Amino acid sequence: MATHIAALVAPIAGCQTAFMTHETKTKCPAAPHSRRGISAGLSTWLTASLLILVAGCVHPDRPPPPAATTAQETERTKPDEPTLPDASIPEDVKPQRDALVDAIARLSEHGLDPENYGLSHILSLSDDPEAQGQAERDAWRLAATHLAHGVVEPGTLHRRRVAEMAENAMLMQIDAQGGPAALATALDRLAPQHPEYLALRAEMARQQAAMAVETDPTARASHAALIDQLRVNMERWRWLPQSLGPRYVIANIPGFDVASMAQDTVRARHTAIFGKMNRETPAFSDSIEYIIFNPWWDVPDSIARTDKLPLFRRDPGVISRLGYRVLDRQGKAVNPADINWSEVSAASFPYRLRQAPGPANALGQVKIMFPNPHNVYLHDTSERSLFDADQRAFSSGCIRVKDPLDLAAWLLEGTPDWDRTRIDAAVASRAETRVDLLAPVPVYVVYFTAIDDSCGGVRYLPDSYGRDEAVLAALDSPVLR
């Protein structure tokens, strides 16, 4: 059945898996690892592209986690209590319905509570096949939306309480093509197929199994806390696109690293510095468009008022030593020696500050630009010793990258005339030089506190900004029926 559905969408590219990792300190070898807003007004093409999920998206290197055994399945397979045929349901239909009920029960593998989709209610309707079938399809619509897009909206953390149009249309097409069995298969395929998500799913199964047999209250609480952390991070994966692109960059805030990815394989992993506690780096996605070598630094007004003004009051000589230029609000140069900085008000700071390229420049030798409302970008730094710290929350929100020229060279692969030799020459010139990428490269700034450890397990990272609690509370918000 899945093969037949796949034939409907043969011209459409298959699913893309993605890899997220962290600079691991374990000794095991790191194996290379090979969705999003859907608007109203669904087109035939969009429906077909969603149907591709039914046909595959299976990562060949990692088997799916073991299927959970539901109470219903156990009841059906007791050797001394054979299940009698239900005369009200044709024999060729009942197994298909059982498969769909089991698929809803297995939502727990994704950190979702099957009761939020009415599992007990569905089971209670066994004497009314028509009502049960409708309840199953209602559950499928909402579960499909949650697996494909997330239980909550990432921006507001409001629970999605109704199915998306795409999932409603998909249900009708899949149901017409293959009935409940095809719907059961499709439901699992709608979840992320990234190796990272599959690793979290397998870890979820391990933690749930361990908690089920644990009797010590303290140990049970520990398993419950890890399960909650997995639920939060699996939800964050559901917020990402199914396809991250053939080449992309992922910056994981709690992992303090930046990875360049090509064909879903890590090409390089860079130690990174993110925003300090009172200037957090936001999670968002965009596209890298251009690179500037030997950049001038236009000091953000907030930093000029809160950081630079106190520095200039203490030591006015630092202005010339570090290469700062002072401009008035019309852009005209002002001699800093003529300014009494102790009399300048932070509330009505009348100047603009720029720092010239050079060894002391806060952006170092390069900045990698993806224009965005947060004014966040990747860049070098003049304070490279900070990369040696374990917890690297030191910046004002931007992302400082170790060995950024290597990352720039990777981004410029395919851009004519910009090999490493040309890059090094541009840096050596000390002249500000802008280079536009031949094609934009997606960048994802993410917040994952549970990641694949590349050794068959999961690493749990500190929740450095304390963001997990809000997501967990949203996942646990009451379900309105």
| Positions marked catalytic | 379, 398
Dihedral of CA 142/146/147/151: which sign? negative
Token digits of residue 88? 């009200």
**DSSP per-residue letters across 62-83:** SPPPPPP--HHHHHHT-TTSPP
> How far apart are the C-alpha atoms of 54 and 56, rounded to whole Å?
6
> How far apart are the C-alpha atoms of 319 and 437, rounded to whole Å?
34
Q: For residues 195 and 61, is the Cβ–Cβ distance under 8 A?
A: yes
Residue type, 158: H
Closest by Cα among 235, 233, 59 to 148: 235
Residue 355's beta-bridge partner residues? 297, 324
Closest by Cα among 315, 310, 395 to 349: 310
SS3 452: strand
Residue type, 271: T
What is the spatial order of strands in the sheet that 333-334 belongs to? 297-298, 351-355, 324-328, 333-334
Residue 8's beta-bridge partner residues? none
**DSSP per-residue letters across 238-278:** HTS-S---SEEEEEETTTTEEEEEETTEEEEEEEEEEE-TT
Token digits of residue 469? 């609690």
**Residue 420 has what DSSP assignment?**
H
Q: For residues 370 and 411, is the Cβ–Cβ distance under 8 A?
A: no
Distances (CA, A) of 374 to 4, 51, 296, 307, 347: 45, 35, 19, 19, 22
Residue 243's beta-bridge partner residues? none
**Residue 305 has what DSSP assignment?**
I
Token digits of residue 400? 């400082």
Residue type, 422: R
